[in-house]
Structure 1
Amino acid sequence: MTRTTPPRPVSVETVLPGLAPYRARSTRLHPRPGEPGAHDSHVGGPLLWPADEPWPRCHEPHQRETEGYTPEAIRAARASGAWPSSGPWPPPGTPGLDGPVPFTALAQLFRRDVPGLAAGPGDADLVQLFRCPLTHGPHLERRYHLRWRRADRTERAGSLLTDPPQVPVLPWEHELPEPCVLHPEEVDTYPWAEDDTLPAALIADIDAWDDARLAEHGPDAPCYQYDLSIPPGWRVGGYPSWASTGPLTVDCERCAAPMRLLLTAEGSEADGGSHSWVPLEDRDPAFSGKESVRHGTFLAQPTRLRFGRDRDLHVFTCPADPAHPPRWQLS
């Protein structure tokens, strides 16, 4: 099934014509639980990975937990609609937890499926995203990994990996992604309006428009940040959202070039403030507004993943040279 974003509550460039030069396309991925294959773009499914290629591992020291969840217990609990039971953390020396830890595959995207997906090094057209399932240091930091490929060359590999390594226990239920198929859809987006993301006069116009709408229509009135600028959920390209951190400068650590947003991963695709972006196919036409949204929890967290404390994970790459190391930002 396709996914169709409803028209915006108002025409952005009609009420705020100064935004026209800043319009950018973003591709909403709309992940939904399903059975993706290794040759598909997806979240949480099997990767297109040559059997003779080493799986990425995190070699840094990791925090030990007191209890955790086995992947099997998580899958069984999800199938029954229950919460998984935790168990004691395995003792030191347990294979897969001591020494290098296998990364968890979060997603893979083919450029043939996802409009606007930037090319990688050597015109790579397949990108795979990983996260270390364990935390690092006293601030519980996370480590991510990006792997670029040429899809045609990888698909000609003699055999593919069918049983990637995984840790025997996870610290949280939301470390295990739910296999999801994607429904890519291009939409227009506009920058986050704060600090110097836009000219000061234009931000003042946006604030004044928001205030007037609030005064006229009350707290449920559409506003720029929630309803007109950046959609929630997984998306490719467009602009980063900065709800938790405020706007940040993200430059390439190797050449200092301003980096571009490759991908945003987000645990939630709908909440009380962003319900206007919920696709038409996920609404009950007999109702309007928030009340029309079907499958609340299912829709809000289709991938079952979380990033930080319900933040967005922005993945940035260098437009001057995509072989330069990517950068990650939670916001």
Structure 2
Amino acid sequence: MTRTTPARPVSVEAVFPELAAHRSRTTRLHPRPGRPGMRDSHVGGPMLWPADEPWPVCQEPHRPETEGYAPDEIRSARAAGTWPASRSWPGGGTPGEGGPVPFMGLAQFFRRDIPGLPAGPDRADLLQLFRCPLTHGSYLERRYILRWRRAAETEDADDFLATPPQLPLLRWEDELPEPCVLHPEQVVTYPWAEDDTLPAALIARIDAWEDAQASRHGREAPSYQSDLSIPPGWRVGGFPSWASTGPLTVDCVSCATPLRLLLTAGSEEMDADSHSWVPLEDRDPSPHANPTRLRFGRDRDLHVFTCPADPGHPPRWLLA
């Protein structure tokens, strides 16, 4: 089934013609639970991974844990609509500072499926996203990696890894992604309106317009930030949302070029502030509030930035 974003409650360029110069497009991925295969773009499905290639592991010290949830029990509990029971970690605890930890595959995207997905290093057209299932340091930091591939070369491998290595327990239930198929849809998007993301005079006009709308329509008033600029959920390209942090400067650590937003992984596909973005096909949005079951930070968005001058330069990750 396709997913169709409703028309915006207000024609934003009719109210603010200057925004036409800042217009962009983002691809909403609309992940929904399903049974994706390793040759599909997906969130939470099987990765296309040659069997003779080592699976990525995190070598950094990890925060030790003493209990968690077994992946198979997480799946069974989700199917039953219950919560899994926590278990004590075998052997007295996690690997902690000793031993590597296998990364968890979160998503993969083929350029042939995702409009607007740029090419990676050496014209790579398959992007794979991984996260370490354990945390690091006193601030519970996370580690992510991107792996770019050439799809045709990878698909020609003699054999593929059927079951990647994983920890016996996951610290949180939302470490395990729900397998989701994608329904890509391109929509028009505009920058977050704060600080210097837009001209100061334009931001002041947007703020005044929002105040007037709230006075006239109350809680049902349309909002530029929530209804007219950036959709929620998983998306490729477009602009970052800065609801939690405020706008940040994100430059390449290798060449100082301003980085470009590659991907946003959203903890929520829809919430009370983004109801107008609910696809027409999702009449009852409650089952789709978080279809991937993944969370990033305290229900924030994970923004992945890459260098437009050289996609081989290190990416940067920001929670906002």
Quote how far apart the aligned CAs of 1:66 are: 2.9
Residue 40 of structure 1 deviates from its aligned partner by 0.3
Cα deviations by residue, 1:108-164 (Å, 9 ceiling, x for unpaired): 000000000011000111100000000000000000010000001101111111111
Is residue 77 of structure 2 the alignment partner of residue 77 of structure 1?
Answer: yes
Instruction: Say whether 1:143 aligns with 2:137.
Output: no
**Matches of 1:163 and 1:258 in 2, distance apart?**
38
Is the CA contact (8 Å cut-off) linking 1:190 and 1:228 kept in structure 2?
yes
Instruction: Say which is worse superposed, 129-138 or 91-100, in terms of deviation.
Output: 91-100
Give the whole-Å Cα distance in 2 for the aligned partners of 1:173 and 1:165: 18
2 CA distance for matches of 1:96 and 1:81?
Answer: 32
Match of 2:90 in 1: 90
Counting aligned pairs with the same residue, the percent is 74
Question: RMSD over aligned Cα, in angstroms?
Answer: 1.3
User: 1:68 maps to which residue?
Assistant: 68
Partner of 2:313: 324
* 1:173 lines up with 2:162 in the alignment: no
1:20 aligns with 2:20: yes
Q: CA deviation at 1:295?
A: 4.4
Q: Any conservation in 2 of the 1:314–1:328 contact (CA below 8 Å)?
A: yes
| d(CA) in 2 for partners of 1:83, 1:93 | 22
User: Structure 1 97/173 Cα, relative in aligned 2: closer, same or farther at 3 Å?
Assistant: farther
CA contact (8 A) 1:268 1:300 kept: yes
Aligned CA distance change for structure 1 residues 12 and 258 (closer, same or farther; 3 Å): same
Instruction: State the alpha-carbon separation in 1 of the partners of residues 307 and 22 from structure 2.
Output: 20
Indicate yes or no: 2:294 matched with 1:305: yes
- The equivalent residue for 1:289 is none
Verify the 8 A CA contact 1:97 1:168 in the aligned structure 2: no
For residue 287 of structure 1, what is the aligned residue in structure 2? none
Which secondary structure does the structure 2 equivalent of 1:218 belong to? helix
- Whole-angstrom CA distance in 1 between matches of 2:194 and 2:317: 20
Deviation for aligned residue 1:69: 0.3
Amino acid at match of 2:80: S
User: How many residue pairs end up in the alignment?
Assistant: 320
- Whole-angstrom CA distance in 1 between matches of 2:97 and 2:25: 42
Q: 1:48-197, aligned counterparts within 5 Å? A: 48-92=48-92, 98-197=98-197
Structure 1 stretches of at least 4 aligned residues deviating more than 4 Å after TM superposition? 92-98
1:231-253 CA distance string (max 9 Å, x none): 00000000000000000000000
Which amino acid in structure 2 is aligned with residue 304 of structure 1?
Answer: R
Scaled by the length of structure 2, what TM-score is found? 0.98
- For residues 224 and 132 of structure 1, the distance between their equivalents in structure 2, rounded to whole angstroms, comes to 35
Q: For residue 282 of structure 1, give the secondary structure of its aligned residue in structure 2.
A: coil
Residue 58 of structure 1 contacts residue 100 of structure 1 at CA under 8 Å; is this kept in 2?
yes
Tell me if structure 1 keeps the 8 A contact 2:43–2:181: yes
Which residues of structure 1 form unaligned runs of 5+?
284-293
| 8 Å contact kept, 2:60–2:97 | no
Contact 2:69 2:171 in 1 (8 A): yes
1:299 maps to amino acid: H
| TM superposition shift of 1:92 | 4.8
Q: 2:303 aligns with which of 294, 300, 314?
A: 314
Distance (whole Å) between structure 2 residues aligned to residue 181 and residue 97 of structure 1? 36
Distance apart, 1:180 and its partner CA: 0.1
Aligned-partner Cα distance in 2 for 1:156–1:223: 49
Give 1:208 deviation, angstroms.
1.1
Say if 2:61 and 2:97, in contact at 8 Å, map to a contact too: no
Kindly state the Cα deviation for residue 78 of structure 1 after the two structures are TM-superposed: 0.6
* 1:142-196 deviation per Cα after TM superposition (whole angstroms, max 9, x unaligned): 0001000000110111111111101110000000000000000000000000000
Q: For residue 4 of structure 2, give the secondary structure of its aligned residue in structure 1.
A: coil
Partner of 2:270: 270
Rounded to whole Å, the distance in 2 between the matches of 1:308 and 1:228 is 25
**Contact map agreement 2:64 2:94 (CA 8 A) in 1:** no
Q: Is the 8 A contact 1:96 1:102 kept in 2?
A: no
Give 1:97 deviation, angstroms: 9.3
Deviation at 1:91, TM superposition (A): 2.5
**TM-score, normalised by the number of residues in structure 1:** 0.95
